[in-house]
Structure 1
Amino acid sequence: MKSQNIFLFLFAMFNFQFLFAQNILKKEKNLDSLFQETMENDLLHNALFRLESKTLEFQKSWAHGHFNDGKKVEINSPFHIASLGKTFTAVTIAKLAEEGKLSYDSPMHHYLPKKFTQGLHIWQGKEWTREITVSHLLQHLSGLSDYFEDLTSNGENMLAVAFENPDKFWTPQEILDFYKAGFHARFPPGTDYHYTDTEYLLLGLIIEELEEKPLHKVFQERIFSPLGMVNTSMHLRSKPFEQPDTPLTEIYFGNEEVSGMKSLSSDWAGGGIQSTTMDILIFLRSLFEGKLIQKESLEIMQEWTPASKGTYYGFGLMQWKLKELFPSLPKLTLIGHHGFTSSFMYYCPELDAYFSGTFNQSEYQKGSMDFLVKVLMELKNTKI
């Protein structure tokens, strides 16, 4: 009788594993089809995508498209991660806070020379610069304008200027001077939310002041090297430890290919990193598995403020609640970041799944989110 029970148990386990494997194979095929169907959009020229889930015992990378010289985009091709870089900056700030080198609640002017901060935030005739804290900068609560997409009084912003002078290499000081020359504050610090790269420019300057070395070296020493992110570096400012076999994937703003523009250097501490989908997930997994910062620090980074319907912002992290965005969807959450080039990195705690990738198209940001929602729904149906 005992041997019969053992046989039945082993048979049941084998049957479960067989069904699970069959289900995973089916889902992989469905994900292949979803990625290929997505790439039929005329806006898209190339894309990269990676998915990892220990719970589902699944990991795979996808690549689509060709470079302008005809060579295929490979799964290890690097890409400009755009605003995903904000999480790297926020993690570095968290490390400095853990070491007692700064406090989230301290005014930013404690850590920056007067030449950087004087006259930065003037609202209704009063200067509020000294009221801006480090946490305000991290969470987009400072009231400063965004030098990339907001407009100056003469209708300019960095996006326009970058196209007017594509061969211009921007230093952080020049970016700050550009901001102070024409932008105005939007509200007093801590009273509202407005997403702005200007804050992350200031955070990058704080890091350089405290560490007494360039930001790209800080990232290399504190994040890239310790995690073994050998294909990651700051675009136009440093080289990765191992140069990938393929060049940087080409970026499109509509129909215009812009990846060769030196003016992309204007995206610095807010997103000036190039990486691969695998390296990005090394970073994201390490963050949520407690290998980068302490548990308490990660909890602080996830103290959310409302950004828009169904979306929240912490310290360099975005949170999407799918049920709030689309009431017909299940209660699934994405935590990570999106970028202007339709780049993304997210963790879904309910499914224990990590995602990274890019569609390298500024006009496909909503489309990239729709793609991730479809992937989530496919994965949710994988559990048996």
Structure 2
Amino acid sequence: MNRKNRIAGWMLIGCCIGLVWVACDKKSTDPAPKTNEELQEQFQTLLNNVVVNDNAIHSAVLMVEAPLRNLSWKGAAGLADPGANLAMDPDDQFRTASIGKMTCATLAMALVEAGQIGLDDSIHLYLPDSIMNGLHVFQGQDYSERITIRQLLSHTSGLPDYVEDGDANANGLPDFLELLMAQPNEFWTPEETIAYAKEHLTPFSQPGQGFHYSDTNYQLLGLILQNVTTKALNVLYRESLFSPLGMNYTYMEFYDTPIPGIAGRSLSHVYFGDQDYTNWISASADWAGGGLASTTGDLTRFLRAFVSDGIFQNSQTKAQMMSWGSTGITGVYYGFGMVRVNFEELGLPGAGEIYGHDGFPQSFMYYWPGQNVTIAGTLNQAVPEKFDALAVVASVILLLQD
């Protein structure tokens, strides 16, 4: 499942029922509430079954924090480096991919809160002509200067996604991903990805006329953050989020010096089907829309700070980020860099809803307000055969329900 199909995949969670079934033992049918020890065993079994039963998935990590149960657990399964037969560790780092949209949106909203930018400001106020010229030409009319920061954040600018729009040879693989695979040693700047979108793709609608998930929006947003603050995006991350929140093992790939989560270990290996793209320099194309390496512990710190109003000065800033709009998919909504999934609408009664974000290699960071639970991890595989990120998240929720 590629990233565009992942949007549709937000509703394909039926497999989680079977996943829960294999994760539970006979004790799960007992009407008595599960003990934390039983839950921890079932979480680990869940991870083991994901790796064992899906041949495409080589490793998985998961962290579940449920304060109301006095439960904090993290586990791992599979191999962080199959070539070296190195077992995955719960504290291993991984590519978070589009989870970075929520962190990037958080940086942007801090600037909105401080009055440095406005949600309804035209983006041309903050970007040079080299970026703006011909950025959004739809049906012969140039709408570039009508795009607002709000529209970038909410994927309603109408701009195409440089990563996954366009399939000239109709082989089912987006042209840009084919380019990254063909030239794995090519470094991409954000300006080059935007230029690619302008040259090879066309907008989907006028600005503000509907939802279209597009990494191009967040490349533009990252450039705006840099221009307004006069700081490189990786520096802004470090100063505004990572250091204040104690996210000591999170860094921006290709821009920061890697900070090992465990001494002597590097990023856990990540796959696109049978291709290991861990060391592809072309992965630099994922910048403000992703671009981070992190751990389950650091993602949990960020999410816990976010939900407990530990980031913004005004709680209304968080509320603005959670202004949910339709994605056109039943049960799935999008705010500012955030996904909301209503499991009730997707046929899982009693599961409630979650919000957060997931990423290309089936990375995930979600909050379940029903029981004040954070769930973070990855499957390190962009195209799993059986299980995806939401299947694991939904399975954790169902296991937590007594």
Question: TM-score of the superposition, structure 1-length normalised?
Answer: 0.91
Match of 2:293 in 1: 274
Match of 1:262 in 2: 281
Question: Which of 153, 158, 169 is the equivalent residue of 1:143?
Answer: 158
Higher Cα Rg, which structure: 1
CA–CA separation in structure 1 for the residues paired with 2:210 and 2:160: 12
Matched, 1:29 2:45: no
Matched, 1:164 2:182: yes
CA–CA separation in structure 1 for the residues paired with 2:169 and 2:158: 20
Matched, 1:128 2:143: yes
Match of 1:319 in 2: 340
Q: Which moved more, 1:67-76 or 1:334-343?
A: 67-76
Q: Which amino acid aligns with 1:141?
A: T
- Preserved contact between residue 153 and residue 183 of structure 1 (Cα < 8 Å): no
Match of 1:235 in 2: 253
* TM-aligned CA deviation for residue 159 of structure 1: 1.0
- Give 3-state SS (helix, strand or coil) of 1:205's partner: helix
Check 1:42–1:152 CA distance in 2 against 1; reply closer, same or farther (3 A cut): closer
Check 1:208–1:157 CA distance in 2 against 1; reply closer, same or farther (3 A cut): farther
Matched, 1:251 2:265: no
Match of 1:355 in 2: 375
CA–CA separation in structure 1 for the residues paired with 2:35 and 2:59: 29
After TM superposition, the structure 1 = structure 2 runs for residues 46-57 of structure 1, keeping only pairs within 5 Å, are: 46-57=59-70
Q: Which amino acid aligns with 2:67?
A: K
* TM-aligned CA deviation for residue 22 of structure 1: 6.3
CA–CA separation in structure 1 for the residues paired with 2:317 and 2:387: 30
* TM-aligned CA deviation for residue 27 of structure 1: 2.0
Matched, 1:290 2:309: yes
* TM-aligned CA deviation for residue 207 of structure 1: 0.3
Question: Which of 204, 216, 237 is the equivalent residue of 1:186?
Answer: 204
* TM-aligned CA deviation for residue 57 of structure 1: 0.7
Match of 1:205 in 2: 223
Matched, 1:367 2:380: no
CA–CA separation in structure 2 for the residues paired with 1:72 and 1:83: 25
What is the count of residue pairs matched by the alignment?
A: 362
* Backbone CA RMSD of aligned residues: 1.8
CA–CA separation in structure 2 for the residues paired with 1:302 and 1:225: 25
Match of 2:14 in 1: none
CA–CA separation in structure 1 for the residues paired with 2:211 and 2:387: 21
* TM-aligned CA deviation for residue 331 of structure 1: 4.6
Match of 1:376 in 2: 397
Q: Report Cα offsets for 1:81-104 as digits up to 9, x if no partner.
A: 000000111000001011110000
Check 1:352–1:323 CA distance in 2 against 1; reply closer, same or farther (3 A cut): same
* TM-aligned CA deviation for residue 24 of structure 1: 2.0
Percent of paired sites with the same residue = 32
Match of 2:55 in 1: 42
Q: Which moved more, 1:145-154 or 1:99-108?
A: 145-154
Check 1:243–1:35 CA distance in 2 against 1; reply closer, same or farther (3 A cut): closer
CA–CA separation in structure 1 for the residues paired with 2:217 and 2:362: 21
Match of 2:191 in 1: 173
- Preserved contact between residue 94 and residue 295 of structure 2 (Cα < 8 Å): yes
* TM-aligned CA deviation for residue 375 of structure 1: 1.0
* TM-aligned CA deviation for residue 242 of structure 1: 5.8
CA–CA separation in structure 1 for the residues paired with 2:32 and 2:121: 52
- Preserved contact between residue 93 and residue 260 of structure 2 (Cα < 8 Å): no
CA–CA separation in structure 1 for the residues paired with 2:119 and 2:72: 37
CA–CA separation in structure 2 for the residues paired with 1:31 and 1:138: 34
Q: Which amino acid aligns with 1:369?
A: L
* TM-aligned CA deviation for residue 70 of structure 1: 1.6
- Preserved contact between residue 94 and residue 297 of structure 1 (Cα < 8 Å): yes
* TM-aligned CA deviation for residue 158 of structure 1: 2.3
- Give 3-state SS (helix, strand or coil) of 1:330's partner: coil
* TM-aligned CA deviation for residue 51 of structure 1: 0.5
Check 1:241–1:20 CA distance in 2 against 1; reply closer, same or farther (3 A cut): farther
Check 1:193–1:98 CA distance in 2 against 1; reply closer, same or farther (3 A cut): same
Check 1:27–1:175 CA distance in 2 against 1; reply closer, same or farther (3 A cut): same
Match of 1:108 in 2: 123
CA–CA separation in structure 1 for the residues paired with 2:228 and 2:247: 24
Q: Report Cα offsets for 1:98-150 as digits up to 9, x if no partner.
A: 11100001111111112111110011100011111100000000000000000
- Give 3-state SS (helix, strand or coil) of 1:324's partner: coil
> Which structure 1 residue ranges, 5 or more long, are not aligned?
1-18
* TM-aligned CA deviation for residue 379 of structure 1: 0.5
* TM-aligned CA deviation for residue 363 of structure 1: 1.1
Question: TM-score of the superposition, structure 2-length normalised?
Answer: 0.87
Q: Which moved more, 1:173-182 or 1:70-79?
A: 173-182
* TM-aligned CA deviation for residue 368 of structure 1: 2.1
Q: Which moved more, 1:29-38 or 1:123-132?
A: 29-38
- Give 3-state SS (helix, strand or coil) of 1:48's partner: strand
* TM-aligned CA deviation for residue 71 of structure 1: 1.7
- Give 3-state SS (helix, strand or coil) of 2:366's partner: strand
